[in-house]
A and B are shown apart, each in its own frame.
Chain A
Amino acid sequence: MHPDLNFQQAPPISVPFRFFLTAPLFGVAAGLLILYLGPAVFTSRWVPSTLALTHLLTLGFISLIMCGAMMQMMPVLAGAVIPRPIMVSTLVHLLLVSGTLLMGIGFFRFSPMLLKTSALLLVIGFAVFIVAVSMALVRSGPVSGSITAMRGSILALLITATLGVLLVFSLISSEGSANLVVLANVHLTWGLLGWVGLLVIGVGYQVVPMFQITARYPEGLARYLAPMLFTGLLIWSILYFSGGGVLFRIAPVWLALCMLGFVAFTVITLRLQINRKRRTEDVTRNFWYLGMASVLVSITLWFAAQMPELASLVSNRLPFILGVCLLIGFAVSVINGMLYKIVPFLIWLHLQRLNPQVQTGLSTPIPNVKKIIPVKYLRWQFYLHLASCGALIMAAVWPHWLASPAGLVLAASFALLWVNLLAAVAVYRRYLKLLEETTVLEGGVTSGRFLRWIR
């Protein structure tokens, strides 16, 4: 009945880690770009260098990590592995990294040639990823709310990437610019609310109850919210594309309804977390709180801007504040929290799996997850990240003095994340060496390949 059901714990460690270890560097690059450009970043969201910045963050940091994490989580969530994991992850990683780099440079120097090349690399990279993950999702065991949300998220990625390619090509041929803005708004809505939003919902259904020991999400919410949001976004796109008349005027109202769906998820998540059973300190929970708070702030601001009396107050600063809240405050926070949970665990798991019997025979046993990334550094990175959110929001309002310092704080926060992840890998290497010295490692094939790659 489920011939391909696979309960394996994890694909080879290099599959997710190649994504996790390169992504923070794009975040550092984004911070440095703000530092370099200063207030110019906050003049218009259509300025090419601002587009370079947003894509460094959305493709380089957010999407890279989400792709790596999804490949990692498939066996646990869907009972299915990604076929040929090493080949698929190598291909996806190379295409996305090179595509993002070229797109960053392409926007920065506004080079149509580079932009076209980058769009092609990215769309091929995402296509390989989508096909591979879909094969696992289709073959999954009984369908849970999580799986439904992930299927929606993958479809949203397909829509976002397709619209992205369309945008690059029409930007270069510079057809009617009004159309371009409509297309761009649909592209970013599918990217943020669809690809990122639905994936966070799908993963949240699993990890919030698991790691905080909370009650589960209400059955009805878990089953219907994601399909409703996906359909809602689809209908909104059609209304918004209608280009005028009654349908076009209904579009914002419709989008507001969709936003309420996200509010429901956020409020329920916070309520579950506040009533959790597990009371021990957990920095990753702070990242979740910050992420959820950012969603609520963004949606409140968005609603405020829909009212004419308030619109003038938030004026032209709103897109930047929303951008900071949703990208850094929401997406980056949740991703950081997730990384700090799974990276130490994966290192422990792979060390343990290399030779389970060794654990008792070793003079130094395999370190527990809290020794792999010390809580002290984790806490520091949280404060730095929190500071970068605050600084960037202030910079969005008063760019003149604050833009460059905010960029520096952002770069520092991503740099510390990178250092924390590298420190975790250093622990892995140290113990691997210890294992090799004290025993004859028969798992030489997997460990050897990872070592060659990491060294």
Chain B
Amino acid sequence: MSLDSGSLPHVSNIDKAEVYMETIKDKMTDDHRHCDEMFAEAEDLVTRDDWTNAIKRFDEFAKAMDHHFNMEEEVLFPQFEQATGITAGPTEVMRSEHSQMRLLIEAMDDAVHRSDSDEYLGQSETLLIIMQQHNTKEEGMLYPMVDESIGDNVEQLLSSLNDI
């Protein structure tokens, strides 16, 4: 699996990348890294008071995050619940973390449009921690378990992810 940012699929041309994607874990983990990079770039622009570009980068980041959440909530979590029979518990926690992150992204959105760097950086630090511990659980446990549960249906699941 390549961690090279250059080879990461952009959200809009995800179909092109499909050929290289082998597992759900690979695809979703790469998407995490992609979001992380946009996060870091937006934050960097904020610290340099480059607000025009910061807003642009932040909007892309927020959109990518929303897309990622939707892929999970509409396809992966139901798949996990169906395969394991666990509807409460893991996916419930993941969904509630999504809503926590959505609130933080809203706060960052507000701060970036007000050019308030202190507020933005405080909210982004909070988001980073919750986002990373969330990703750790997904990459370490949830995705591998989804991969395990779907067997040969990877292609099918990947294509329903790409439809989101």
Contact = CB atoms under 8 A, between A and B. Distances in A.
A and B associate: yes
Interface of A: 1-2, 5-9, 75-77, 79, 141-142, 144, 206, 210-211, 213, 215-216, 277-281, 341, 345, 348-349, 352, 356, 359-360, 365, 367-371
Interface in B108-164: 118-119, 121-123, 125-126, 128-130, 132-133, 135-137, 140-142, 144-145, 148
A7 B144 contact: no
Given A213-B39, A277-B40, A352 B100 contact: yes
Given A7-B94, A213-B39, A368 B137 contact: no
A166 B134 CA distance: 43
A277 B97 CA distance: 24
B14 interface: no
Nearest to B86: A5
Contacts of B119: 368
18 contacts: A1-B145, A2-B141, A9-B93, A9-B97, A141-B141, A141-B145, A142-B144, A144-B140, A210-B129, A210-B132, A280-B43, A280-B121, A348-B126, A356-B96, A356-B99, A368-B119, A369-B125, A369-B129
Say what secondary structure dominates the interface of chain B.
Answer: helix
Contacts, number: 103
Contact of B141 (A5, A279, A341): A5
Interface of B: 3, 36-37, 39-41, 43-44, 47, 84, 86, 89-90, 93-94, 96-97, 99-100, 103, 107, 118-119, 121-123, 125-126, 128-130, 132-133, 135-137, 140-142, 144-145, 148
B126 A345 contact: yes
Contacts of B145: 1-2, 141-142
B121 A370 contact: yes
A345 B137 contact: no
Contact of A141 (B47, B99, B135, B144): B144
Nearest to B5: A277
A365 B103 CA distance: 12
A420 B142 CA distance: 36
B37 A368 contact: no
B122 A370 contact: yes
A279 B47 contact: yes
A75 to B, nearest CB: 8
Given A7-B90, A76-B137, A79-B140, 16 more contacts: A1-B84, A2-B145, A7-B94, A7-B137, A9-B97, A75-B137, A141-B141, A142-B145, A144-B140, A210-B128, A213-B39, A277-B36, A368-B107, A368-B119, A370-B125, A371-B122
A79 B141 contact: yes
B51 to A, nearest CB: 16
A341 B126 CA distance: 10
Contacts of A345: 126, 129-130
- Quick one: which of B3, B44, B118, B128 has the most chain A CB within 10 A? B128
B140 A368 contact: no
Contacts of B126: 345, 348, 368-369
Q: Which 4 A-B pairs have the closest CB atoms?
A: A368-B122, A370-B122, A210-B132, A141-B141
A211 B36 contact: no
A142 B118 CA distance: 39
A5 B85 CA distance: 13
Contacts of B90: 5-7
Nearest to A10: B133
A356 B100 contact: yes
A77 B135 CA distance: 11
- Quick one: which of B39, B96, B97, B125 has the most chain A CB within 10 A? B125
Given A6-B89, A368-B122, A370-B122, A213 B141 contact: no
Given A2-B145, A279-B44, A369 B122 contact: yes
Given A76-B133, A370-B125, A371-B122, A141 B140 contact: yes
A213 B36 contact: yes
Contacts of A215: 3
B36 to A, nearest CB: 5
B89 A5 contact: yes
A442 to B, nearest CB: 15
A144 to B, nearest CB: 6
Given A79-B140, A279-B47, A368-B119, A8 B93 contact: yes
B141 to A, nearest CB: 4
- Quick one: which of B43, B47, B137 has the most chain A CB within 10 A? B137
Contacts of A77: 136, 140
